[in-house]
Structure formats: C-alpha cells, structure tokens
C-alpha cells in the first residue's frame, strides 16, 4: 500500500509531461508511395524528401492541411507545377518556398516560419529533395517559435532527416539572430 501513492504521483507526472507541448514528440518513419524519407512528428508535421504529385491525395488523407515545398523548381526531379496542381485538386494548401542549400537566405526562413505557424497550414507536410532542408527549417521553427535550445531542436531535426552540417549551422545562426523574447 505504501507504493500506491508514489506510483500515482509518478503516473500523474508522466501524463502531465506527455501532454506538455514543450516535450519532444515521437518521430515515426513510414513508407508512403511516391514520398522519399517520410518522417512524421506526431500530428504536428511531417518532413520528407522528394514527393511526387501522385502522393498528394495520400498526404491529404493523412490529415495534413498544407504542403510546404522547399525545392527549387529547376532541381532534377522537382515537379513544382504538377505537385501544386495535385494539391489544388486534393483541396490542400500548397506553399512553395524555394530554398537553395548553397546560399541559404534568411528571408526564406522568415517566409517558412510565417507559413508553418499559420493555423490554416497546420498540420503541415514539409519536404525538399532529401528531408535535410525540411528538417533544418523545422529546427528553426522549434528554436525561434517554441524556444527550444539548439541541442534539443538539433536532435529532433536529426531524427527528421537533418544530416547537413552547413544547414544545421544556418539554422542555429538564424535562430540566434531571430529569437523572439
């Protein structure tokens, strides 16, 4: 009987922690036909790589309200127009924010943060070619909007597909200079 009270307090603390949005969410990897490197972060977002227009109905069916495409229109395999048309047909918001990894532009991050925090776009499906840019942008959102530290945001971003050290540095530098107090 002496164990029930500590157990009850422990269970209550665990449930409270699980419901706290500041706690890192579970990342799950799923195979979605027509999508490369799909990683879903609970019900909040999904980050992915190359995405074909024929995958858009499945993205909509999963409950996403928007697709945020970070690919440049001239990238090999990018089909920005086809994906946008598929999104319109499926009734899902489509936001194209071209992000060049060789010359990361803070204005692109500004546009991304505005798009991903717009209630009309959440939950959002974010993608690029490999998931690196998508995860880097999500890391920025975590640090600037959610006030996460670089270590915590970086660990989550790595689970979502961030492997590029330059993009991680860009995310940290951007977040450091754009912290909202």
pLDDT at 28: 81
Collapsing DSSP to helix, strand or coil, 125 comes out as strand
Give the whole-angstrom CA distance, residue 24 versus residue 70. Answer: 24
Q: Is the pLDDT of residue 12 over 60?
A: no
Assigned token pair, 98: 């071209």
How many CB atoms within 10 Å of residue 106? 13
pLDDT at 2: 41
pLDDT in tens, 41-89: 766 789 999 999 999 999 999 999 999 999 999 999 999 999 999 999 9
pTM recorded for the entire structure: 0.81
Residue 159, C-beta contacts closer than 8 angstroms, at least 6 positions apart: 27, 39
User: Where on the phi/psi map is residue 33: left (φ > 0), alpha (ψ -120 to 50), or beta?
Assistant: beta
Pairing mode, if any, of strands 45-48 and 124-127? Answer: parallel
What is the overall mean pLDDT for the chain? 86
Assigned token pair, 126: 């974010």
Give the whole-angstrom CA distance, residue 152 versus residue 55. Answer: 31
Q: Residue 16: which pLDDT band, with cuts at 50, 70 and 90?
A: very low
Pairing mode, if any, of strands 93-96 and 66-69? Answer: parallel
Would you call 99 exposed, middle or buried from its count of C-beta atoms within 10 A (0-12, 13-18, 19+)? buried
DSSP 73: T
pLDDT at 175: 97
Give the pLDDT mean for 146-165.
96
pLDDT in tens, 29-42: 888 888 888 887 76
pLDDT at 181: 52
Residue 30's nearest CA partner among 41, 19, 20, 22 is 41
């Amino acid at each position: 009987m002496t164990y029930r009270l500590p157990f009850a307090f422990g269970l209550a603390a665990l449930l409270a922690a699980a419901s706290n949005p500041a706690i890192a969410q579970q990342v799950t990897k799923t195979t979605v036909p027509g999508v490369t490197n799909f990683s879903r972060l609970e019900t909040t977002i999904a980050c992915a790589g190359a995405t074909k227009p024929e995958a858009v109905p499945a993205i909509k069916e999963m409950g996403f309200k928007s697709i945020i495409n970070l690919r440049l229109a001239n990238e090999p395999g990018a089909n920005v127009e086809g994906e946008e048309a598929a999104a319109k047909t499926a009734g899902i918001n489509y936001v194209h924010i071209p992000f060049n990894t060789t010359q990361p532009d803070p204005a692109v991050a500004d546009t991304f943060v505005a798009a991903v925090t717009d209630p009309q776009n959440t939950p959002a499906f974010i993608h690029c070619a490999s998931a690196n840019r998508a995860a880097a942008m999500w890391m920025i959102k975590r640090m600037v909007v959610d006030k996460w530290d670089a270590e915590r945001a970086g660990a989550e971003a790595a689970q979502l597909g961030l492997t590029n050290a330059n993009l991680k540095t860009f995310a940290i530098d951007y977040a450091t200079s754009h912290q909202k107090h």
